[in-house]
Amino acid sequence: MNIDLPEKAAKLLRKIRRNYKVDFEPLVMGDIKLQLLQVQDLENILQGRDPFANISDFPFWIKLWEAAIILAEVTASLEPAAAGPRLLELGAGIGAPGLVAAARGFDVTLTDYEQVIMNFQQVSAAASGLKPKFALLDWTKSTDMAPFDTIIGAEILFRQDLLEPLLRIFKKLLKPGGKIYLAHDLRRQTLYKFLDKAKDDYKIMSKKIDLTSAEGRTTVMLNCLQAK
C-alpha cells in the first residue's frame, strides 16, 4: 500500500525495509482508522518459536497481539476530559492502543526499549496523521518523565524478573487517582504472579474476553488497576 509520508517518516520506512518485509495494514475502531506498519513475513522471522515457552528468544514487539486489539478497543472508549489527557503506553510494540488513544485526543507517549521498535511506531503514526510523543524506556532504570493520568500495556508481563521494576514504574509514573489498563493472553502465567504482587497496592478489576481469528480462539484477560 502506498501512503504519502513526511520525509522524516519516509526515511525511517526506507531504513526499516532494509531489514524487514513490511506493509501498511488498516486497523479500524469505530470512526478511528489507523495505518499500522507491520511485518509481512512473520513466520520466516519467528521460525515456529513459542511465545509462551521461549520467552527470552521471542520478539514480542513484532506482532499485533489479540491483547493489543482489546486494549485498543478500551482506549477508543475513553474520554480525555474524563480520564485526564496524559496517557502512557508501556512496551508499546506496534503501538495500536496508544495510537488509537492519540486519535481520541489524548496526549500520548509511546515507549519501548529499542529504537527499531520506535521507528515502526513513528512511521505508523505519520501514516495515520497522528503526532504522539515517543521515548525509549528501560523499566530497570530511573526516568524523569512526569506522571500520567492513564497507563496502558498489552502483553508486557512476559518476564518474571521485570515484574517488580514494572510495579516501581507504575508507582512513579501514575498520577493519584489514575488508572492502569493491562491486557494479556490468559495463558501467560506471569500475569497471575503480577496480579498477586499488585493486589496489596491496587484495586484490581478483571474481565475475560474471547476472540476468534484465523489462528484459533484466544482468551484475553483485561485488568484495570487503581491505587488504593
Cell numbers given for 115: 529504537
Does residue 1 belong to any structural domain of this protein? Answer: no
Does residue 199 belong to any structural domain of this protein? Answer: yes
Q: Is 201 left (phi over 0), alpha (psi -120 to 50) or beta?
A: alpha
Does residue 23 belong to any structural domain of this protein? Answer: yes
Across the range 173-200, mean pLDDT stands at: 95
How confident is the model at residue 42, as a pLDDT?
83
**How many alpha carbons lie under 13 Å from residue 154 in its C-beta half-sphere?**
25
Across the range 205-213, mean pLDDT stands at: 90
Across the range 61-90, mean pLDDT stands at: 96
Across the range 139-161, mean pLDDT stands at: 95
For residue 47, give its domain range: 7-227
Total structural domains within the chain: 1
State the pLDDT confidence band at 206, using cuts at 50, 70 and 90: very high
Give the Å distances, CA to CA, from 91 to 111, 134, 136, 182: 6, 11, 10, 11
Does residue 178 belong to any structural domain of this protein? Answer: yes
Does residue 160 belong to any structural domain of this protein? Answer: yes
State the pLDDT confidence band at 5, using cuts at 50, 70 and 90: very high
How confident is the model at residue 163, as a pLDDT?
96
Percentages helix, strand, coil for the chain, rounded to the nearest 5? Answer: 35, 30, 30
State the pLDDT confidence band at 45, using cuts at 50, 70 and 90: confident
Does residue 2 belong to any structural domain of this protein? Answer: no
How confident is the model at residue 56, as a pLDDT?
66
The span from the CA of 26 to the CA of 34, in Å, is 6
Does residue 167 belong to any structural domain of this protein? Answer: yes
CATH code of residue 34: 3.40.50.150
Does residue 64 belong to any structural domain of this protein? Answer: yes
Grid-cell match 488513544, residue found: 101
Across the range 77-98, mean pLDDT stands at: 97
